[in-house]
Amino acid sequence: MIPNCFRHRHAIKKVGRAEQKNQSPCVLWFTGLSGSGKSTLAGAVDEYLFDLGCHSYLMDGDNVRYGLNRDLALSDEDRAENIRRIGEVSKLFVDAGLITLCAFISPFAKDRNRVRSVLDSGEFIEVHVSTPLEECKQRDPKGLYKKALKGDIHNFTGLDGVYEVPVRPEITIDTTGSTPFECAEVIVEYLRNKRMIPDMGNVSMGM
Ligand SMILES: Nc1ncnc2c1ncn2[C@@H]1O[C@H](COP(=O)(O)OS(=O)(=O)O)[C@@H](OP(=O)(O)O)[C@H]1O
Ligand SMILES: Nc1ncnc2c1ncn2[C@@H]1O[C@H](COP(=O)(O)OP(=O)(O)O)[C@@H](O)[C@H]1O
């Protein structure tokens, strides 16, 4: 309760927006180590959904840190605030009827569970991108593991920083040895099976 602030009840509701878009809005929450494939995979799912005519939007850790969360660093406290804010933004996007894709390391179970708790039942779909640390280190797409192992970055997730593995994620996907498109198909199939998107056949992408 905030003093002197009152909630407005607007005429157009989440259910109406979802019906108009012919889909069940939800949050696909990609969590995993740096280099596990969160951004690449979330991007592939976003493209797949776009080509199917679904309405989605992708929020990515690195990008959000250039704008909305530019005041936050990577201390444990700032990471918690990062995820809290993204959780609230995701709730707004779900209210707008969108399939919302979030790609954040989100190392702490408490922070991920808080996002789950601000959404309605079934709306939070936790996708653990479980690619092993050794594979992530080998990929090292941004050269961050190299820097962290040299001691130039501290509290690096998976090395000297904590990553709490999800206990009961809706989806677990190790991207080792598969293409982003193959991994994206697994996630789109999950949405189809749950009847969250219409069954409109497959798309073919040059990935
Ligand atoms: N100490 C440390 N540990 C892990 N990652 C680090 C660190 N410092 C910078 N980076 C880079 O910041 C990106 C993490 O941003 P996130 O918003 O996803 O992190 S978090 O969810 O708030 O923990 C992360 O993005 P990804 O590599 O895409 O995962 C890194 O590029
Ligand atoms: N099946 C796959 N899905 C996602 N990324 C993959 C896959 N196979 C290989 N990769 C590579 O792994 C790296 C993942 O980087 P990125 O998506 O930035 O990870 P994260 O967002 O988790 O830090 C990229 O270089 C990507 O090309």
37 lines ligand 1 (CB under 6 A): no
Mean pLDDT of 165-194: 98
Write the CB contacts of 168 (distance below 8 Å, at least 6 apart in sequence): 126
Beta bridge partners of 194: none
Mean pLDDT across the stretch 177-199?
97
Catalytic residue among 56, 90, 106, 130: 106
d(CA 189, CA 16) in angstroms, rounded, equals: 24
**33 is annotated as contributing to ligand binding:** yes
139 lines ligand 2 (CB under 6 A): yes
Domain 21-193 in CATH 3.40.50.300: yes
Per-residue pLDDT band for 206 (boundaries 50, 70, 90) equals: very low
Interface predicted TM-score (ipTM) of this complex, two decimals? 0.99
**Does the active-site annotation cover 106?**
yes
pLDDT in tens, 121-169: 999 999 999 999 999 999 999 999 999 999 999 999 999 999 999 999 9
Please list, residue by residue across 77-90, b when 16 or more beta carbons sit within 10 angstroms of its beta carbon and e when fewer do.
eebbebbeebbebb
Task: Out of 33, 34, 40, 60, give the residue to mutate to test ligand 2, the one with the largest number of ligand atoms within 8 Å of its CB.
Answer: 40
pLDDT at 199: 85
State which ligand 2 atom lies nearest to the alpha carbon of 43: 17
Query: Is 177 annotated in some ligand binding site?
Result: no
Mean pLDDT across the chain, nearest whole number?
95
- Please tell me the predicted confidence (pLDDT) of residue 105: 98
Provide the pLDDT for residue 200: 72
Atom nearest to 35 CA in ligand 1 = 27
Ligand 2 atom 12, closest CA: 37
- 24 assigned to a ligand binding site: no
pLDDT of res. 117: 98
Domain ranges of the chain: 21-193
Query: Among the atoms of ligand 1, which is closest to the Cα of residue 32?
Result: 29
Residue closest by Cα to atom 4 of ligand 2: 37
Question: How much distance in Å is there from the Cα of 61 to the middle of ligand 1?
Answer: 7
How many Cα atoms are found within 13 Å in the side-chain-facing hemisphere of 104? 32
